[in-house]
Structure 1
């Protein structure tokens, strides 16, 4: 079993909604973020992953929490088993010109196709 260190971001819009990403690797909704590359700080990981997956530039951030332990075990569809250590940041990004006419979808052409959809959702609609 492999340990994967990840950095993710809670990005809110002006209405307090949280940006969620529908991931292409397993189809679930989650926070934008991903795995650390060798030599990166966890902050650099989060900033890079947010940019790659959403096109957004992180302007400010602070560490919110770290998730680890047995509850973070995951088995990918291909059978690979991993344990995540997730560093989650509260982050602010510049959203000017990035939101579609529906006022909830982030406009981004994801060349790596990691994001099927990027949408701001109310916390009560997530839980």
Structure 2
């Protein structure tokens, strides 16, 4: 199976009551997710998350840290997907859809409804949504290991 890294961003409205979700167009049916997508070659997780939110929603965001890490074996696609979900904050832009061939709609959902679609176990989502907890994301840069002579 091919490993695929995917980033998502959890974004609350100004009252921190609703979560921004996007409706993706699938091959067989549409489905809701947090804004996000696959990490491209040479791109950091943070860069991918920010780019994907902009492409899917038209919004500019700052990331506050890691919200959750989860994984799934998507046998029909031959993928082992690792999902990195960040908590973010909207800093600008206007809600719009740049790629209508991929995204049907953007919508604000109450947290209870949004939890049904998030790619993390329900117990983890409950704790994070109630506590708004994050873990810092740290880019260590390029690490070069020297060999012993």
- 1:28-70 per-residue CA deviation (whole Å, 9 max, x = no partner) reads 10111010111111000100111111111013421112112xx
Alignment of 1:34-49 (within 5 A): 34-49=37-52
RMSD: 1.9
Unmatched tracts of structure 1, length 5 or more: 99-106
Q: What is the CA distance between 1:113 and its match in structure 2?
A: 2.6
Superposition map of 1:27-66 within 5 A: 27-66=30-69
Shift of 1:95: 5.7
* Residue 105 (structure 2) pairs with residue 117 (structure 1): yes
Q: Deviations over 1:55-100 (max 9, x none)?
A: 11013421112112xxx1225xxx423121011000001367x3xx
What's 2:20 paired with? 19
SS of residue matched to 1:94:
strand
**Structure of higher CA gyration radius:** 2
Matched positions, count: 112
Deviation at 1:111, TM superposition (A): 3.4
How far residue 117 of structure 1 moved from its aligned partner, in angstroms, is 0.7
Structure 2, gaps ≥5 residues long: 117-149
The alignment's TM-score, normalised by the length of structure 1, stands at 0.78
Q: In structure 1, what is the Cα distance between the partners aligned to 2:39 and 2:79?
A: 14
For 2:59, what is the secondary structure of its paired residue?
coil
Q: Which has the higher contact order (CA 8 A, sep 6+)?
A: 1
**Aligned equivalents of 2:19 and 2:10: distance in 1?**
6
